[in-house]
Chain A
């Protein structure tokens, strides 16, 4: 059973130890900090439910020392409820400073206790802080369906940033606390399969039961990530949810901790047997996927894409696409891109035994099917602006984050949007470009380069989006499925008057370039290189 943990910070060691023992006898786990530095470290690293901070942490006789109060005001520790303690309570201004709301939100502390008041008053204040501000459901019965643990969750969300085992253990406890906060009024939660392997987050079904007697289960979808990511989702949701179709607006509840936060979506429909769109693509026929796509674009089109233009950006489309693909010179300099390109070329040569020459800054030459295929080096278009779009760029409302993990599809093909973080103004075609790139480069599995070449040849020609794509089978079932789906996706895009084919293909080029420098599999990166090269050749045939 997890224990309620209090951080007690006071530079008066005798007082601190006496009070800490009292609190420990009352059942709390007490972390002791005798200096400001120790207090900061514990607040940052340890699992702390409530912090008790002495006003004067540095110099007891100096009335100007309010270091404990300054610490309480630090926004880094905003989510931890604090009780301010003082030996000199006669200064009403100190109480006012501790309990009055800061301009950016909540007050620095939730309560104020004078040392002279005795331990019972402190215990009462702590009990109240837990009941009103911590709100952890200690009795919640938490179970997992599959062999998984909060330790595993902490590792998935923290990624490479945290490798220390002890720290991950502490973080796992913080996640458990979040679940106990998220389901404060329930008696039992069963955490089901994780729906995504997106780095930095966990997405899981939670089957929750109100009380032990009541057998009816509710289903919620739980996303757990970093506080910044969840806050971004909350902000985007609050700003834009009025534009979403009514049936996609779930009841949301948010909980936040020091290193993690969570949002639970209480969905309106009985969509609990759903998959993410990415998974749905793998397990269903093209015709079924197209039906879902039609329904999706119909709903989003009416609510989101038909909104009037929101902004006119005075940047070139080149700059905007580069920025959105993470290919700006500060993140991926041109030399790094070319090194990645050379690595992929080398892989193709050695692994696929295809003769390929890369002449940096000039061309990439593939020898495939007995032909010599000469394409411009994608660097020329991605970094050197061989084709330049002049401003302005029109921004419309888009869903963003179209990676296939943001949309759920149930067995009847009903859809539900579950990620609101990306909603906001972006170049109008962004969602279509992102979805095509996912299907075209990420969701197909075939690595045979001749088949990939046959696939890309059909997709790289620039022509009006409304012109039906003549699909010729490649011999690989996943590529053929993708071709049929992409043919439909482009037609759906063509229904919007702002869908320009040149901007569409240009956007796909930057997504392919992003994959070339990513840590995706080398087969996927080889596919992206062929796609990018072929798009560049198509662009080179267009008159400026």
Chain B
């Protein structure tokens, strides 16, 4: 179920992750408040949410989903040029390569620094459109 928007800004963001009451989603929501509105859904509702609305950026909390690359593939099947950012508390080089191969726009360490977070997402918004094909190797 997609929550109804409360404070719509010019951009719409979607976080696929844990409940909004958790600490980091709250930080993210505050960080992005100046740019637009953040919606939050659990993994099982993500594909439906993306099919219902065109989000400017979708963030995936790698720690809260079972298979990041698989979810990315499903989301990009809905919106081929979707900008996806994968966030994680403990980044690894292997996962970094995996998500970029799958077409991620960025791979970020979860930060509590709101300004830094906002700048990182703003940079993603300013990126040129991604190629539409789902990249990836066996």
Using a CB–CB cutoff of 8 Å, the interface residues on chain A facing chain B are 89-92, 94-96, 99-101, 103-105, 107, 111-112, 114, 124-125, 128, 132
Contact = CB atoms under 8 A, between A and B. Distances in A.
A542 to B, nearest CB: 53
A100 to B, nearest CB: 6
Contact of B93 (A94, A100, A124, A125): A94
Contact of B107 (A96, A104, A105, A128): A96
A121 to B, nearest CB: 10
A114 B105 contact: no
Contacts of A125: 137
Nearest to A124: B137
A82 to B, nearest CB: 14
A92 B137 contact: no
B92 interface: yes
A112 B137 contact: no
Interface stretch (B51-59, B65-73, B123-131): B123-131
A92 B127 CA distance: 21
Contact of B126 (A91, A92, A103): A103
Given A99-B100, A101-B128, A114 B93 contact: yes
B115 interface: no
12 contacts: A92-B91, A92-B93, A92-B95, A96-B106, A99-B96, A99-B101, A100-B100, A100-B105, A100-B106, A104-B128, A105-B128, A114-B93
Interface centre among A92, A94, A114, A128, by most chain B C-beta atoms within 10 angstroms, is A92
Contact of A95 (B100, B127, B133, B138): B100
Q: How large is the interface on B (under 10, 10 to 19, 20 to 34, 35 or more residues)?
A: 20 to 34
B116 interface: no
Contacts of B107: 92, 95-96, 100
A100 B138 CA distance: 21
Nearest to A128: B137
B105 A101 contact: yes
A95 B93 CA distance: 6
A39 to B, nearest CB: 22
Nearest to B130: A101
B55 to A, nearest CB: 18
A90 B95 CA distance: 11
A132 B101 CA distance: 11
Nearest 6 pairs of A and B residues by beta carbon: A99-B100, A95-B96, A92-B91, A92-B93, A92-B96, A89-B93
Interface string B9-31: 00000000000000000000000
A101 B127 contact: yes
B135 interface: yes
A544 to B, nearest CB: 53
Interface in B101-128: 101, 105-107, 123, 126-128
Nearest to B95: A92
A103 B127 CA distance: 6
B74 interface: no
Interface centre among A101, A103, A128, by most chain B C-beta atoms within 10 angstroms, is A101
B48 interface: no
Given A99-B97, A114-B93, A124-B138, 10 more contacts: A92-B95, A95-B100, A95-B107, A99-B100, A101-B130, A103-B123, A103-B127, A111-B97, A125-B137, A132-B135
B106 A92 contact: no
Contacts of B130: 101
A75 B24 CA distance: 37
A112 B97 contact: yes
Interface centre among A91, A99, A104, A111, by most chain B C-beta atoms within 10 angstroms, is A99
A483 to B, nearest CB: 53
A226 to B, nearest CB: 23
A223 B137 CA distance: 35
Nearest to A100: B106
Contacts of B133: 132
A100 B94 CA distance: 14
Contacts of A94: 93
